[in-house]
């Protein structure tokens, strides 16, 4: 199996609570949680944006910083082709190279081209807030994709509850360790809300377990190489005294595992697997224990659908959780992980993949 949404698994041993129960203190301390919980019950009446197609849609993306974002871009191009030129007349594109400093002027350049809608993957919640406000004031509806900003003045956000995701990974570790042990935390790119919000959820959950000691927190910048360097330093400092590791992305989890393998040391449980083929290969080969969440690059198809529905003047949900729309994108553990691993894919692939295998092959992501 190399493409498609073929993995439809039953309920797993590791799940973030479907009720997403949070304490009043957690909600009060998190503007993000307040916003998400409020928007989950809201629709945006997009009548004001209604117009005839074909549409010119601007995509301000994370860009070519890793394989996740490369597959995100490929899904966007593929889906535009699937929708046809009568729907998407032009897909304008900007590559932020994972930098908010680069993305802010890129968004301004895209808006100067007068697109019908803007799909934005914010590389900085604070930095991209003003550009989002300006776009909406200019009459360009904004669809946030995979990350958020510090305003509610946009049409919708496509993603998942990141606070709950971070909390779920911490809960997995705390329960696996029977509420006691030394834990390390590796976050993504500081300043990007995807990373910061997951970190907040993880830390809040660890605080509920007095026996869990959070020894250190360092960014791995969603980079396998950087994560490996950080883990190597940790191993020199802490040795075998680490009981568990929280990781905010499978690229980093791969680097963590590699550092342990190079040292020939036993790998502790990891809260931070994903549907990432390289990590899943490591897990199968080394019998890893882990809890996994998902953040599929394929969510861009939902972002594009949201943009089109907005331009057709429809009611658009203000928060669209990909788990409800893309099968097989919920949480899982090492118990089910073997079902996700795809021996035809290279280590760079983050599933699920919706487009045909030929496109994966052109990207160099199929094993020969």
Instruction: Say which CATH number the domain at 167 has.
Output: 3.40.50.2300
pLDDT along the chain (368 residues), means of 10: 31 42 92 94 97 98 90 98 98 96 98 98 96 98 96 97 96 98 96 92 97 98 96 97 97 97 98 96 97 97 98 98 95 94 96 96 93
Strand bridging mode 117-120 / 55-61? parallel
Classify residue 330: in a domain, yes or no. Answer: no
Confidence (pLDDT) at 20: 65
In a domain, residue 346? The reply is: no
The verdict on 191 and 288 lying in the same domain is: yes
- The dihedrals phi and psi of 78, each to the nearest 5 degrees, come to -60, -45
Q: Give the separation between CA 206 and CA 329, rounded to whole angstroms.
A: 25
Same domain, 265 and 167: yes
Instruction: For residues 265 and 169, state if they share a domain.
Output: yes
Structure tokens at 196: 């910061």
Smallest CA-to-CA distance from 185 within 145, 125, 245 is with: 245
Angle 160-162-163 from CA coordinates, rounded to 5°:
135
At residue 12, the pLDDT reads 36
In a shared domain, residues 153 and 211? no
User: Do 121 and 97 touch, CB atoms closer than 8 A?
Assistant: no
Do 52 and 167 lie in one domain? The reply is: no
**Are 168 and 287 in a shared domain?**
yes
Q: How far is CA 31 from the centre of its chain?
A: 19
**177 domain-assigned:** yes
User: Do 153 and 168 share a domain, yes or no?
Assistant: no
Taking Cα atoms as reference points, which of 322, 293, 324 lies closest to residue 169? 293
Residue 354 belongs to some domain of the structure: no
Compute how many other C-beta atoms are within 10 angstroms of the C-beta atom of residue 100.
17
In a shared domain, residues 241 and 285:
yes
Give the domain range for residue 53.
Answer: 42-160+297-317
Residue 255 covered by a domain: yes
26 Cβ contact list (under 8 Å, min separation 6): 33, 163, 204
Residues 226 and 306 in one domain: no
Please state, as a whole number, how many other Cβ atoms lie within 10 Å of the Cβ of residue 355. 20
Domain shared by 114 and 195, yes or no: no
Q: What's the total number of domains in the chain? A: 2
CA-based nearest residue to 89, from 63, 114, 126: 114
Contact (CB, 8 A) for 263 and 235: yes
Query: Is residue 134 situated within a structural domain?
Result: yes
Whole-angstrom Cα distance, residue 234 to residue 236?
5
Tell me, yes or no, whether 242 and 202 share the same domain. Answer: yes
pTM for the full predicted model: 0.91
Last-in-domain residue among 292, 307, 327? 292
Q: Which of 277, 298, 296 is closest to 77 using CA atoms? A: 298
Pair (84, 64) in one structural domain: yes
9 falls within a domain: no
Q: How deeply is 254 buried, as exposed, middle or buried, from its count of CB atoms within 10 A (0-12, 13-18, 19+)?
A: buried
Is 220 a domain residue? yes
């Amino acid at each position: 199996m190399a493409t498609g949404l073929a993995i439809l698994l039953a309920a797993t041993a590791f799940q973030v609570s479907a009720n997403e129960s949070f304490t009043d203190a957690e909600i009060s301390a998190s503007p993000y949680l307040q916003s998400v919980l409020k928007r989950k019950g809201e629709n945006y009446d997009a009548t004001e944006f209604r117009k005839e197609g074909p549409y010119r849609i601007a995509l301000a993306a994370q860009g070519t910083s890793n394989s996740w974002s490369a597959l995100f871009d490929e899904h966007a191009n593929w889906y535009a082709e699937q929708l046809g030129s009568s729907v998407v007349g032009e897909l304008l594109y900007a590559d932020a190279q994972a930098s908010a400093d680069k993305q802010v002027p890129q968004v301004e350049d895209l808006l100067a081209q007068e697109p019908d809608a803007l799909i934005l993957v914010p590389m900085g919640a604070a930095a991209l807030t003003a550009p989002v406000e300006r776009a909406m004031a200019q009459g360009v509806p904004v669809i946030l994709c995979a990350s958020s900003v510090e305003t509610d003045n946009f049409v919708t956000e496509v993603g998942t509850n990141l606070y709950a995701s971070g909390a779920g990974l911490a809960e997995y570790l705390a329960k696996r360790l029977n509420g006691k042990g030394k834990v390390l935390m590796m976050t993504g790119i500081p300043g990007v809300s995807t990373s910061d919000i997951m970190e907040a959820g993880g830390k809040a959950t660890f605080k509920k377990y007095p026996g869990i000691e959070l020894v250190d927190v360092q960014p791995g910048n969603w980079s396998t190489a950087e994560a490996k360097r950080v883990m190597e330093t940790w191993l020199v400092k802490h040795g075998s005294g680490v009981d568990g590791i929280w990781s905010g992305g499978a690229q980093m989890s791969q680097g963590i595992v590699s550092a342990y393998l190079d040292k020939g040391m036993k790998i502790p449980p990891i809260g931070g697997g994903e549907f990432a083929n390289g990590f899943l290969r490591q897990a199968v080969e080394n019998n890893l224990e882990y809890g996994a969440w998902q953040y599929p690059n394929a969510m861009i198809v939902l972002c594009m659908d949201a943009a089109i529905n907005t331009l057709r003047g429809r009611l658009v949900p203000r928060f669209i959780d990909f788990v409800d729309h893309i099968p097989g994108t919920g949480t899982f553990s090492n118990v089910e992980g073997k079902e996700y691993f795809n021996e035809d894919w290279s280590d760079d692939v983050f599933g699920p993949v919706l487009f045909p295998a030929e496109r994966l092959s052109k990207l160099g992501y199929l094993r020969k």
